[in-house]
Amino acid sequence: MSAVEAFDAVDVIRAKRDGGVVAEDELRWMIDAFTRGYVSDAQMSSFAMAVLLNGMSRDEIRVMTDAMIASGERMSFAGLGKTTVDKHSTGGVGDKITLPLAPLVASFGVAVPQLSGRGLGHTGGTLDKLESIPGWRASLSNEELTAQLRNVGAVVCAAGSGLAPADKRLYALRDVTGTVEAIPLIASSIMSKKIAEGTSALVLDVKFGSGAFMRDVEKARELARTMVALGTDSGVATTALLTDMNTPLGLAIGNANEVRESAEVLAGGGPADIVELTIALAKEMLALAGQPDADVEAALADGRAMDSWRAMIAAQGGDPDAALPTPNETHTVFAGRSGVVTRLDALPFGIAAWRLGAGRARAEDPVVHAAGIDLHVKPGDAVLEGSPLFTLSADDGARFERALAAVHGAWDIGGSAPANTPLVLERITA
């Protein structure tokens, strides 16, 4: 412990508790002293609750983010000779967009460093999905990462523990103290890691709806605006799309099946919503990289994006042609009446896939790569009584009961098609 500390944690907590603004040097000290272990978990949790209740000014959020970046390593791709653009999604059900998106954008000569995490809870992790591919390796050294960005362009790999370690400790506290939902804390958590990663531009996919972290569209919009402002203030060109996560994205929810669906998109096919969102995000990313007129659709149709995917997978030891794992057991649910699917609620399907083994309850648990759900219909599709609605897959049929309980009442079949709602609701810029 240092002999003399510059500030007192209790003063900082009281200032935020009483609705005040914490001065820059005090806030920087608070994060630094927490990282050093001088400010206790109890004090930091109390501070997080004060932030949840009273919010933070734009300037406080900037300082908080900056202090978390300063707690660890800061990467730089300045010597790469290529523009770098990253994408971050706040997470959803069936959200495999990174898989087709990174190689698609890289096929235009842009470097896409996607430092990703593993899934916890009902939203899947990109690394878990890619680990369905035999031989594929998530961990790369910084040298391997840089070499792959230079030679292939797209990299999806595990984020090193050196990036924003203060966030890692704070997030663990927030998780158990009811303070995850504070917008200043979410924004500084996500953006500290993204800025520390050293990307020069960033596109955020901020989701709202039942399967999203933020159910409420107003809150999602506020989060998006906060993160766009933070990125911009830190010199990272940042834009956001506000996207609907009330219905699972695509038809596959799981790991291996999501890789399969992504490969379909890269082959020029795939479900319309996945293609739409992939194209919308790719255009945003390429516009930030100085290519506003890039013909993204052509790169999907003519095989350039697929070539880039194959190179990306092979560079990390994966065999893009290898058979993906298949489940031991499947269970199909059929329509109880004829009509049109009017609702298919994302969250219950996410929870069911998780219970089937596609996700993990504890960070140390393994996932079952072949487990998950394949939808046969989406809202707006006509069905006949007795036709298949969705198929559950698992390594053990004993898992079906709890998965079926999760999706009980999660879809409706009615007489007429539901109103069309846009997948991309809004574009948010600085």
Q: How far is the CB of 166 from ligand URA (least distance, A)?
A: 12
Identify the residue among 190, 245, 253, 305 touching ligand URA (CB under 6 A). 190
- Catalytic member of 86, 95, 128, 167: 167
Instruction: Count interface residues toward ligand URA (CB under 6 A).
Output: 5
Stretch that binds ligand URA, among 7-15, 181-189, 233-241, 291-299 (CB under 6 A): 181-189
Q: How far is the CB of 176 from ligand URA (least distance, A)?
A: 13
Instruction: Reply yes or no on whether 118 is catalytic.
Output: no
Residue nearer to ligand URA on the CB measure, 190 or 300: 190
CA 267 vs CA 232, 282, 295, 308, 319: distances in Å? 35, 16, 16, 11, 17
Instruction: Reply yes or no on whether 193 is catalytic.
Output: yes
| Binding residues for ligand URA restricted to 121-180, rule: CB under 6 A | 171
Residue nearer to ligand URA on the CB measure, 130 or 185: 185
Identify the residue among 104, 110, 157, 186 touching ligand URA (CB under 6 A). 186
DSSP letter at 418 equals: P
Residue nearer to ligand URA on the CB measure, 46 or 189: 189
Q: How far is the CB of 220 from ligand URA (least distance, A)?
A: 12
The full DSSP string for 15-26 is HHHTT----HHH
Beta bridge partners of 372: 254, 393
**Long-range contacts formed by 2-7: CB under 8 A, 24+ apart:** 2/38, 5/29, 5/33, 5/38, 7/33
Stretch that binds ligand URA, among 100-108, 183-191, 235-243, 287-295 (CB under 6 A): 183-191
Instruction: Reply yes or no on whether 207 is catalytic.
Output: no
Q: How far is the CB of 93 from ligand URA (least distance, A)?
A: 15
Q: How far is the CB of 179 from ligand URA (least distance, A)?
A: 9
Residue nearer to ligand URA on the CB measure, 208 or 309: 208
Q: Which strands make up the sheet holding 424-428, listed edge to edge?
A: 85-89, 201-208, 237-244, 424-428
Count the alpha carbons within 13 Å of 105 in the hemisphere toward its beta carbon. Answer: 38
Residue nearer to ligand URA on the CB measure, 190 or 370: 190
Residue nearer to ligand URA on the CB measure, 6 or 53: 53
| Euclidean distance between CA atoms 388 and 379, whole angstroms | 14
Stretch that binds ligand URA, among 127-135, 185-193, 233-241, 380-388 (CB under 6 A): 185-193
Q: What angle do CA 201, 202, 204 make, to 5 degrees?
A: 165
Q: In terms of Cα–Cα distance, which of 255, 359, 299, 325 is closest to 154?
A: 299
Residue 144: what are its φ and ψ, rounded to 5°? -65, -40
Instruction: Reply yes or no on whether 167 is catalytic.
Output: yes
Stretch that binds ligand URA, among 103-111, 184-192, 330-338, 372-380 (CB under 6 A): 184-192
- Catalytic member of 28, 62, 87, 88: 88
Identify the residue among 84, 189, 239, 243 touching ligand URA (CB under 6 A). 189
Residue nearer to ligand URA on the CB measure, 116 or 393: 116
**Helix (H), strand (E) counts: the chain:** 16, 13
CA 223 vs CA 66, 183, 218, 272, 390: distances in Å? 18, 6, 9, 27, 33
Residue nearer to ligand URA on the CB measure, 190 or 383: 190
**Is the sign of the CA dihedral 211, 216, 220, 223 positive or negative?**
negative
| Euclidean distance between CA atoms 201 and 84, whole angstroms | 6
Q: At what angle do helices 58-70 and 183-196 cross, to 10 degrees?
A: 40
Instruction: Reply yes or no on whether 174 is catalytic.
Output: yes
- Catalytic member of 62, 87, 118, 174: 174
Q: How far is the CB of 299 from ligand URA (least distance, A)?
A: 30
212 binds ligand URA per the rule CB under 6 A: no
Q: In terms of Cα–Cα distance, which of 235, 244, 234, 233 is closest to 205?
A: 244
DSSP letter at 79 equals: G
Structure tokens at 324: 């993906």
- Catalytic member of 28, 129, 193, 355: 193
Binding site for ligand URA (CB under 6 A): 171, 185-186, 189-190
Residues assigned a catalytic role: 88, 167, 174, 189, 193
